[in-house]
Amino acid sequence: MFSKGLGLALAIFGVASITHPVSFEWLPGITFGWQVVPEWAPLMGVFVLITAIALFSARKFTRKQLATFIIFVSGLLGFVGASHPLQFFFFMEMMIFPAFYLIFEQDPAIAFKYFAYMQVAALLVLAGIFSSGTVSAVMFTLAFAIKMGLFPLGSWLPDAHSQAPHSLSTLLSSCTVVCGAYGLYRFSYHSFLLLVLAFMSIVYGAWRATRDEDLKRVLAFSTVSQMGYAVLALIYAPRILPTFLLMHSLAKATLFLSAGIIIDRTGIRRMEGLGVTSFSLMPACLVATLSLAGVPPLLGFWTDLAILKAVTPLPLMLVALATMFFTLLYVERLMAIFFRREGRQKVEGWLPLLTAVLLVLGGILYE
């Protein structure tokens, strides 16, 4: 209870920082500031909400796990409010250790894979900070591409997201990958390199999401694909990026929370043969998946439309549009578990509805 209270206090501190910037002398000559960029404030609010939901869904966590989880959350919220270059490196590292420990308990091999990729990304950020010009831009591009899980640099993502405890994978997929896009937004990047990676990720992620059998891996590959779209937004329509990422965070939080509840109750991870009946999870997942696919009037429709309108090279726009149909294919696969007749089990969970409602409201109120 104490740990959850501490986590909530952190979350409240996160909200307070949107309007009340904090700064202190970390070391003489190095001042660490904490202030959320105004246009990213709604996303910070969503992070705080997802953090609170993840904390409350972490029922099976031991005290040690909760303590490390709170360090992870501090790193996550710290990253979004960072103002000194060294802080970005600091908070990236702050997320690595707890996530590594929590994944290690499930699968040591995947934990080390995650650790190695994240460490390389953090060191590339450090190298980017100490270099300049194109070299610096390339370093930042590679570092945050790893963090976002862009293909082929992000092979850690499907493994780590699927093996992490459910609360952690909710945060990993909805918030930490978003930190990669945020890092690129704050630092310089190499447009061409990033565009190539984004293009490959959109196609590869969507294709693997239609093929994979593990429920959480399908969601993880969908994240890879969506991060490709985030890069398109970053390069061609930076103003829409925070809203797109907000939509992604809400949708992925809904889906990972639902997947966690389903896997916990049924004990089945493979999608083949998994049948679920649910009054709460079905509408939540439907809203989240349709929003990812860009179906009106959900928030995803407006963000995808804005991105497609902004992407000026016609071939690239056509590829992005075509890949959205792939998205519909895996949406159909995900939703099929709610309509399968054989071996159905009743599963309920109300937390995902919270984030799903925000997706609907976002779509209706979008300007």
Partner 1 sequence: MNELLVTALILPFLGKYRKPATLMAFLFAVYLSLVEGYYLATFFFILSIVLMGISRWEPAKYPLLFLAMFDLIGLVNSQNLLELFLYFELAIYASYFLIFGKENLRALFRYFIVNSIGSAFMIFAIALTFVTSGSLNYLTNPALVFFVLGLLIKLGMAPFQDWLVEIYHKVSLSLILFFSVVLTEVAPLALLMVVDRPVKALELLALFSMLLANLLALAEKDLIRLLALIDASNLAFDLLAISIATAASRVAAIYMMFSHVLAMALAFSVIVLSGSKRISRLYIPPALTAPFFAAFFILSGLPPFHLFPAKVVLFSAVFDATQGTSYLLLFNLLLNAMVALRVMAAAKTGKTKKAIPLSFTVLVWSLVLISLILGLFPNFFFQLSASQLAYLGGPHLGFSESLIPSIPASFGQTLTGLISR
Positions that interact with partner 1 (CB under 8 A)? 24-30, 37, 64, 67-68, 71, 75, 83-86, 89-91, 93-94, 96-97, 100-101, 104-105, 108, 112, 115, 119, 122, 129-130, 136, 185-188
Q: How far apart are CA 151 and CA 361, in angstroms?
A: 32
Smallest distance, partner 1 to C-beta of residue 64, A: 5
Q: How far apart are CA 152 and CA 362, in angstroms?
A: 33
Smallest distance, partner 1 to C-beta of residue 39, A: 10
Q: Quick one: 178 or 288, whose CB is closer to partner 1?
A: 178
Q: Quick one: 70 or 331, whose CB is closer to partner 1?
A: 70
Question: Can you tell me whether residue 344 is helix, strand or coil?
Answer: strand
Smallest distance, partner 1 to C-beta of residue 50, A: 21
Smallest distance, partner 1 to C-beta of residue 312, A: 21
Smallest distance, partner 1 to C-beta of residue 181, A: 13
Degrees (nearest 5) of the Cα angle 263, 8, 33? 115
Q: Quick one: 147 or 217, whose CB is closer to partner 1?
A: 147
Two tokens at 77? 């919220």
Smallest distance, partner 1 to C-beta of residue 46, A: 20
CB neighbourhood size of 128 (10 A): 26
Q: Quick one: 29 or 315, whose CB is closer to partner 1?
A: 29
* CB-CB contact of 83 with 138 (8 Å): no
Smallest distance, partner 1 to C-beta of residue 40, A: 10
φ, ψ (nearest 5 deg) of residue 340: -70, 135
Q: Quick one: 239 or 270, whose CB is closer to partner 1?
A: 239
The DSSP line for 112-136 is: HHHHHHHHHHHHHHHHHHHS-HHHH
Q: How far apart are CA 18 and CA 34, in angstroms?
A: 9
Q: Quick one: 105 or 214, whose CB is closer to partner 1?
A: 105
Q: Quick one: 129 or 316, whose CB is closer to partner 1?
A: 129
The DSSP line for 143-168 is: HHHHHHT-TTT-THHHHHHHHS-HHH
Q: How far apart are CA 49 and CA 43, in angstroms?
A: 10
* Nearest-10 crossing angle of helices 281-293, 241-266: 140
Q: Quick one: 119 or 155, whose CB is closer to partner 1?
A: 119
Smallest distance, partner 1 to C-beta of residue 362, A: 24
φ, ψ (nearest 5 deg) of residue 82: -60, 145
Helix (H) or strand (E) run with residue 256 in it: helix 241-266
